[in-house]
A and B are shown apart, each in its own frame.
Chain A
Amino acid sequence: MTRNQVARVAAALTFILILAFAAPRQMAGQDNKTPYPSMAPLEQYLIPDRDAEITLARSAAPETISRDATVLVLGRHGYETAVDGKNGFVCLVEREWTAPFDDPGFWNPKNRSPICLNPPAVRSILPITLKRTEVVLAGKSKAQMEEWTKAAFANKELPTTLEPGAMSYMMSKDAYLTDQGSHNLAHLMFYVPLMDKANWGADLPHSPVILLQTGPPEPFTLFIVPVGEWSDGSSAPVPR
């Protein structure tokens, strides 16, 4: 999850807690603190039980989708394929370091963000997550990572174009997305070419659309839409 993702999801969760309109400013204040100043020992980010990570990754989407998806698990040097799928979707548990570099939760080892990406997102978005994870696990500092990221987009080592229709599921009941509120929100994510959030009516009162992130350097704008159900079909709370 990126910093903006975390902030928006946290804001949504905060809405659930009836903190209403004070939430964004409160969040901004919290951003200035640095609860996680540096990377924790790697073990804190790993899930020792491989099967548990596979199950958690799959829980991002309804079982009818995730049962045939490729599943990745995080190893000491990056993500590894644990299950070869056949429907083009890829499910994994993202960690917080996919966030922007100024995200105070960037090194939060508690974060567990199960996600299932559809085939266009697998081609356009997943390489960014995988590469960044490799760099993190190689022990680079945040400053080095930032330099590397800019260079990687400039050199086209990372995808600079976005396939149309890229989207992903984040409907796991067991996700830990943020330290805020109830830590979780069932939602879908939509990656669109760079655009102003007004093009989707995002973040307006009563709008179900929330802006999570916009580039550059990432070649996309990311919106989320909360949904009323977890991946197992049970009812999920939706922000006001």
Chain B
Amino acid sequence: MTEHWESMHARFKGGASLIVVMMLALAVESLAQDNKIQYPNMAPLEQYLMDRAAEIALARSAAPESLSRNATVLVLGRHGYETAVEGQNGFVCAVDRSWMLPYDDSEFWNPSVRLPLCQNPPAARSHLPLAFKTTELALAGLSKAEMFEGIKAAFDKKELPMPEHGSMCYMMSKQQNFGPKVGNADPHLMFWFPQTDHLDWGADAADSPVDVHEYSPQPMTEFSISVSRWSDGTAVRANQR
């Protein structure tokens, strides 16, 4: 009986040790994956492109239909954004790709990222050129570091404008995808200002609905405010916040 128990105990100890070793190995592997840059370079261009009709619909979903149905719609082609629909209300809707994320974002080259936004007329004049220029550099095959330098130089030489007063955009699409870490986030509005304005909106304070972002090398301040409904009018569930 004792021998049997000792044998069982030894086998149990052996099994437990094996489980502990396996769990440790899994944890280490998981950590290693977290630290690994999943998207170190640009994926093949095809992975960033979309069906044209689907891209138009996705772009328009950034804002309520009452607004986006009269907006200009851009789609991404092999050489940059192209006008797919001429609008009448001065808004421009498009789907940003991952390279519009901050340069230190691990999703920078994630080809599944889709960021529909509808920019108002002041933003279409003064902020949209940044998306065009960044996309141009990405599609030209530049590295992230080269893109950073290219955008910095464009701002330094004033080839890219500063945001006009009143520049803002809608990002209220249920289908927006910021990548696996953020998912589709909240529906929100964004507001742009020259960084030199040194604005204080009480952003990032506890219980403030305002977030602030400054993405080097862009000399701009971006505020975002979460809203409670998606562009189709459906409510954001409390547990999504």
Contact = CB atoms under 8 A, between A and B. Distances in A.
A227 B209 contact: yes
A205 B66 CA distance: 6
Given A65-B202, A88-B200, A204 B209 contact: no
A204 B202 contact: no
Contacts of B194: 164
A67 to B, nearest CB: 10
Interface in B178-218: 189, 191, 193-194, 197, 199-202, 205-210
B205 A201 contact: no
Contacts of A240: 229, 233
A233 B120 CA distance: 30
A61 B206 CA distance: 10
Contacts of B227: 208, 225-228, 238
Interface of B is mostly: loop
Nearest to A169: B202
Given A192-B165, A228-B226, A235-B238, A118 B202 contact: yes
A235 B236 CA distance: 12
Contacts of B99: none
Contacts of B200: 87-89, 118-119
B65 interface: yes
Contacts of A40: none
Given A188-B209, A225-B225, A118 B201 contact: yes
A152 to B, nearest CB: 23
Given A198-B89, A199-B121, A206 B202 contact: no
Contact of B67 (A171, A204, A233): A204
17 contacts: A62-B206, A64-B205, A65-B205, A116-B202, A118-B202, A120-B197, A164-B193, A164-B197, A198-B90, A199-B90, A199-B121, A199-B122, A201-B120, A204-B64, A231-B207, A232-B207, A233-B206
Interface of B: 63-67, 89-91, 118, 120-122, 165-166, 168, 170, 172, 189, 191, 193-194, 197, 199-202, 205-210, 225-229, 231-233, 235-236, 238, 241
Interface of A: 61-65, 87-89, 116, 118-120, 164-165, 167, 169, 171, 188, 190, 192-193, 195, 198-201, 204-209, 225-229, 231-233, 235, 238, 240
